[in-house]
Structure 1
Amino acid sequence: MPIDVLETAILESLFANMDRVAEQCGDQYPLFRQASSEQWTLSRRGSWMGGFWAGLWWRRALISGQDQHKEQAQSWSQKLQVWQDEPSINRSFVFWYGSGLGSLLHKDRQAQASVELAVQALLSSFDASSGYWPLGSGMGGGEAGKHILNVDALAPTLLLLDAQGGPVARQFGQWHVDACLRYLQKRSGAWRDTVLLRGQDVLAEQGTETWQRGQAWAMLGMATAARLYDRKSYAQAALQACRYWHERWGKYVQGYLLRDAPAMPVDRSAWAIASLALYELGQILPEQQWLQEQSRLYLDALLTPELSQTGRFVGHLYKVAPGQSELVESACASFFLVETLLAHSA
Structure 2
Amino acid sequence: MSSGKAGWAELALASVLARVSVTADEIGPRFPLYADPDTGSWTTTSRGSWTGGFWAGLLWLRALSTGDPAHRKAAADCTQRLRCWVEQDTATRGLVLWYGTALACRSGGDKAAGDLMEEAARACLASYDAELGLLPWGDAFGGPRLLARADGVPGLVPLLTHAPGDGPAAAYSHLTRHLELCLSENPPRPAWQAQTQGSWTAYPEPAPGWSRTAAWLLLAVADGLHLGDENDSLRKAAGRLAALRLAPDARLIPPAQDARPHGPVDTSAAAIEAVAALKLAALARSTGDEQAGDRLAVRAHLILRLLTEVHLSPTGALQDGCYDAERGLATRHELIWGDFFLAWGLALLTGLTEPFTM
Q: 2: distance between equivalents of 1:69 and 1:97?
A: 17
Deviations 1:105-142 (A, max 9, x none): 3311110111111111101101112111110001x143
User: Letter of the aligned partner of 2:151 in structure 1?
Assistant: D
For the aligned residues, what is the CA RMSD?
2.6
Contact 2:189 2:209 in 1 (8 A): no
SS in 1 for 2:312: helix
Say if 1:122 and 1:250 are closer, same or farther in 2 by CA, change over 3 A. farther
Say if 1:191 and 1:51 are closer, same or farther in 2 by CA, change over 3 A. same
CA-CA distance at 1:252 after TM superposition: 3.8
Q: In structure 2, what is the equivalent of residue 203 of structure 1?
A: 201
The sequence identity of aligned pairs, in percent, is 28
Contact 1:6 1:308 in 2 (8 A): no
Task: Give yes or no for the alignment of 1:236 onto 2:236.
Answer: yes
> What runs of 5+ residues in structure 1 fail to find an aligned partner?
none
CA-CA distance at 1:97 after TM superposition: 1.3
Mapping of residues 96-107 of structure 1, within 5 Å: 96-107=98-109
SS in 2 for 1:87: coil
Q: 2: distance between equivalents of 1:322 and 1:209?
A: 15
CA-CA distance at 1:38 after TM superposition: 3.4
Q: In structure 2, what is the equivalent of residue 191 of structure 1?
A: 188
CA-CA distance at 1:321 after TM superposition: 10
SS in 2 for 1:195: strand
> More strand per residue: 1 or 2?
1
Contact 1:315 1:333 in 2 (8 A): no
Q: In structure 1, what is the equivalent of residue 7 of structure 2?
A: 5
Say if 1:6 and 1:119 are closer, same or farther in 2 by CA, change over 3 A. same
Q: 1: distance between equivalents of 2:299 and 2:191?
A: 26
Mapping of residues 259-338 of structure 1, within 5 Å: 264-286=263-285, 287=289, 288=292, 289-304=294-309, 307=312, 309-319=314-324, 322-338=327-343
Task: State the 4+ residue runs in structure 1 displaced beyond 6 angstroms.
Answer: 254-257
Say if 1:301 and 1:68 are closer, same or farther in 2 by CA, change over 3 A. same
Q: 2: distance between equivalents of 1:69 and 1:49?
A: 20
TM-score normalised per structure 1: 0.89
Q: 1: distance between equivalents of 2:249 and 2:31?
A: 33
Say if 1:243 and 1:208 are closer, same or farther in 2 by CA, change over 3 A. farther
Q: In structure 1, what is the equivalent of residue 350 of structure 2?
A: 345
Q: In structure 2, what is the equivalent of residue 182 of structure 1?
A: 180
SS in 2 for 1:16: helix
Contact 2:105 2:113 in 1 (8 A): yes
User: Letter of the aligned partner of 1:194 in structure 2?
Assistant: A
Q: 2: distance between equivalents of 1:39 and 1:212?
A: 25
Contact 1:49 1:94 in 2 (8 A): yes
Contact 2:221 2:237 in 1 (8 A): yes
Deviations 1:314-343 (A, max 9, x none): 132114995444121122111100111122
Deviations 1:143-164 (A, max 9, x none): x1x22001213220112123x2
> More helix per residue: 1 or 2?
1
Say if 1:69 and 1:252 are closer, same or farther in 2 by CA, change over 3 A. same
Q: 2: distance between equivalents of 1:256 and 1:318?
A: 12
> What runs of 5+ residues in structure 2 fail to find an aligned partner?
352-358
Q: 1: distance between equivalents of 2:253 and 2:265?
A: 12
Aligned residues: 337
Q: 2: distance between equivalents of 1:141 and 1:153?
A: 15
SS in 1 for 2:34: strand
Q: In structure 1, what is the equivalent of residue 51 of structure 2?
A: 49
Say if 1:92 and 1:111 are closer, same or farther in 2 by CA, change over 3 A. same
SS in 1 for 2:321: strand
